[in-house]
Structure 1
């Protein structure tokens, strides 16, 4: 019998297009408060999902060899519930800066999904939604196996955001041969079959290659930063933050009257308090971008104290700059590059800058395992990372990454300077440090994505407790982290 994994190459470009169009066919933005949806809106989401299934789920889907007859409509409805919820959350939180969902965003999400079904066929949209949910399901079974049937069905271990139970998915996984009962235990438990292991491997490859897992991590990072009300306080625990901003600003070769692009402006610390607006003067302009509406709202509040400043705040990502070619005289940013797709970001900066423009920034590198207190604190990650055979623990670049990318770009930079800098951080404030690492920056996301939801929460709790033990052992002075970073400056060259 044909296997659904045979369809993955054909489905890949469709998934990539959906991600570009911000139609999210699987659970996303699950780590932020925006997902705490009222019962009224849960009912509305369910109604919209049922409408989509009623209109587009046909008997042809049941009879298709890749879709088993027992694929109940309730499974399709559940998949559409997740897709509507995630897409609505994206537009509400990351486009409008709302704290929660409202009726209009739910209708917008439902309409976008319907449009996608008409463009790419309903079958393909349903399949992609099934694949994402199956990936989360199989990952949980593999991690906990043998996994109690009651734990799976409740969703509390791997999909606690779901507003439905997983009975039908449980039946499907067993009937499809992806999991089997464990007979040698007294509890009702399941484990993956060889087929299930193969599917999990293929689904993970597919979701990584199409960019879905990275998109999910990126959106959770944007939302996490936006919800950090104490972001400035947390950043101030980096005791040399001001020094790093000054390093960037002093070397940026800015002149009065320039139009300067600032990337990753956050709450405007470099833009306003750091003095960037003063460098360009009243005849210049700073266009400051950040992907988080929450951050930009705080920047706009600060701007009220700088009435004479020439600043324009824009919601955008560094990978998709909404500006014409050759717009800016210079580009600048502090501690943002390591949170982006560096290759795409450097291409975009090159595109929007004028010939001869300078790009100047500092950014963080991968976590070192050289400081005893930090190695001891993060032991659960480093040890489990070897167990999971994942080569990357954190999502930060290595010391050679940026140089290698610049050397291989078609877009030309010259007079490239890269040299080491140090970010000195006081990690003594355990809760703030953990919040920044795991709830906002998602620094260890390449490792964390290999864990189901509950395992992630358990690990964060473990690391919090270990942090307080480390605090008692090393004291405040012993918990100063010397984190490696790099200064980068390069000039845009265009033929």
Structure 2
């Protein structure tokens, strides 16, 4: 990193101390960026220790980034915060490169439901980034990118307390994808007095000024919803690694099949209806629970899910059941690829809590015909009342001895309140799901790694710490399962069934 770039990063570090007036600018920027499906998440490209983007497409993205830098960067382009400093072309190109790359990976997840990045997704990411930057101040764009970089650095130091300088520069604890710039960033952080280095022990520590700046950045990310978006990306990333989520749920909830059948029985769906199933997974509700039979060959049943691997299972089952009236469509609840007033009913089992609920409910209301119904069964907050559960998940339930929001699942009033603007609830029923905690790896991978119900606690952990937390919880679960008899490792988990009629 050259002198100008080091001074620029140093200047960004000083924002948290002297630049509070920029808060609204960055909050608005982040909100607009997320609305346009532009993503700054370099870690998203780093899958299983290597770049998820093929080498030839990485070269294409480098060319795109250089072109953007050529278009938007000017020699007299300066940033004025605590002082006035030139912004180098290399730093601008880096911001564009990482944005196009992570947006391409995100789009591959969202649009294709796969981990592999295609040339088409790179082109779409290029267009989205170009359109977004044309609507904003490029200097704010670069600054916000740098805030995400600095957050990862300082967050790791706050979490670990201190770090060997060599470990910091190597980035394997917090930024293995960003090792090229870490040495210069450490130099800049020391110069800005955000961190200090104990030369005798070769340890890097966060200073009070660094903590103040970190909390400032956290405020921007929290107020803008950037943290929430980050958590959803983590969940989406993990979700697309799973081939059969239904099998995991059967191990956790042995009565899940009966509950799915209850959902179908209480749905009010009649033969010949046009029905949309959201979050179909591998088709457990579609086929094993008999939804396809309820709709019948004179009707239309469309099964959707964000994961193409799971939809492949639905297609196989459709062939084995010879259910030609079942359509399989890739999609997510927040953005349904159907015209308005298409369906008589929309139904889903344990899907609504995994969505942006307000957006999903609006979109479902759009595709329902007048008087159409939404049927959902979803879990509620973990009861967290059994001794084994509190012992097992103590690292997530408490931080520094202070109780945290235990999970991101809805409460009893969450879904009814969110439905109120668009629906009239005609059937609301509480029920208990018998949850078995006898398989530690399945429990942890499902709740923490895949559906990320402990979103608030996991979102603020450094990159390596998130992985370590999963392994720690699996080990704790194994100890708990040895300590408690199997019959006591059962918790009655509250759920909620709702049937509502759309208001048109």
Do these two structures clear the TM 0.5 threshold for a shared fold by scoring above it?
yes
2:311, 2:328 within 8 Å by CA — same for their partners in 1?
Answer: yes
CA distance in 2, matches of 1:64, 1:29: 31
Q: 9, 18, 28: which is aligned to 2:33?
A: 18
Number of residue equivalences? 487
Check 1:184–1:21 CA distance in 2 against 1; reply closer, same or farther (3 A cut). same
1:226, 1:292 within 8 Å by CA — same for their partners in 2?
Answer: yes
Q: Equivalent residue for 1:211?
A: 225
CA distance in 1, matches of 2:299, 2:239: 29
CA distance in 2, matches of 1:66, 1:48: 32
SS of residue in 1 equivalent to 2:42: coil
Is 1:399 aligned to 2:390, yes or no?
Answer: no
* Alignment gaps of 5+ in structure 2: 1-13
* Alignment gaps of 5+ in structure 1: none
Q: 477, 481, 485: which is aligned to 2:487?
A: 477
2:79, 2:87 within 8 Å by CA — same for their partners in 1?
Answer: no
Check 1:16–1:448 CA distance in 2 against 1; reply closer, same or farther (3 A cut). same
1:29, 1:216 within 8 Å by CA — same for their partners in 2?
Answer: no
Is 1:226 aligned to 2:226, yes or no?
Answer: no
Check 1:47–1:4 CA distance in 2 against 1; reply closer, same or farther (3 A cut). farther
CA distance in 2, matches of 1:53, 1:438: 39
Check 1:29–1:55 CA distance in 2 against 1; reply closer, same or farther (3 A cut). same
Could you tell me how far 1:333 is from its partner in structure 2?
0.8
CA distance in 2, matches of 1:127, 1:45: 20
Could you tell me how far 1:246 is from its partner in structure 2?
1.0
Q: 291, 295, 306: which is aligned to 1:276?
A: 291
2:238, 2:449 within 8 Å by CA — same for their partners in 1?
Answer: yes
SS of residue in 2 equivalent to 1:181: strand
Q: 410, 430, 450: which is aligned to 1:440?
A: 450
Could you tell me how far 1:492 is from its partner in structure 2?
2.2
Q: Equivalent residue for 2:11?
A: none
Q: Equivalent residue for 1:128?
A: 144
Is 1:379 aligned to 2:394, yes or no?
Answer: yes
Is 1:88 aligned to 2:99, yes or no?
Answer: no
CA distance in 2, matches of 1:313, 1:141: 47
1:32, 1:224 within 8 Å by CA — same for their partners in 2?
Answer: no
Greater alpha carbon shift after TM alignment, 216-225 vs 436-445 = 216-225
Check 1:491–1:273 CA distance in 2 against 1; reply closer, same or farther (3 A cut). same
Could you tell me how far 1:335 is from its partner in structure 2?
0.6
Could you tell me how far 1:418 is from its partner in structure 2?
2.5
CA distance in 2, matches of 1:135, 1:427: 36
Is 1:463 aligned to 2:473, yes or no?
Answer: yes
2:274, 2:300 within 8 Å by CA — same for their partners in 1?
Answer: yes
Check 1:45–1:393 CA distance in 2 against 1; reply closer, same or farther (3 A cut). farther
Could you tell me how far 1:469 is from its partner in structure 2?
1.0
1:56, 1:122 within 8 Å by CA — same for their partners in 2?
Answer: yes
Could you tell me how far 1:89 is from its partner in structure 2?
0.8
CA distance in 2, matches of 1:83, 1:423: 42
Could you tell me how far 1:252 is from its partner in structure 2?
0.4
Check 1:271–1:67 CA distance in 2 against 1; reply closer, same or farther (3 A cut). farther
The TM-score, its normalising length taken from structure 1, stands at 0.89
1:95, 1:293 within 8 Å by CA — same for their partners in 2?
Answer: no
Q: How does 1:25-36 map to 2 (within 5 A)?
A: 25-27=40-42, 29=44, 32-33=47-48, 35-36=51-52
CA distance in 2, matches of 1:18, 1:287: 32
